Structure 1
């Protein structure tokens, strides 16, 4: 499996969803992210990071609450948002 650093260093945008199994808003966001992935296909990578299983990574990116979305382009964090967002807003952010 690729390391997190390898994944975020891709040429295409990488949206990282820091989530937790027990989190209600995270469960609402999951199908939205699936729709975004279906719409954008290979143009974007979307990965999910369970904060309870990856505490070190969550700490490294100062994730205080879930869900927290981070967008990376060429390994650089270019955007971050805590809380669930509507599909259209996520699509707009990914296309900017």
Structure 2
């Protein structure tokens, strides 16, 4: 999944989305989502590079615990076929 596809998938939740962080003073009201790709693991076998496995971090910021907001983000990840832990 490409960066623009990740951003589009998360934007479908209806919450503001940004890569990594908002500029100081630019953060919208809560809730909002920050996402980033902290590392990449190459998948190799038989001296051949087969694929790059990226880790996707999605951070949901809310004032307090909001199960319905979390569920909406989780559903977007599931609809995209992504496996995740929280």
TM over 0.5, yes or no?
A: no
Structure whose alpha-carbon radius of gyration is higher:
2
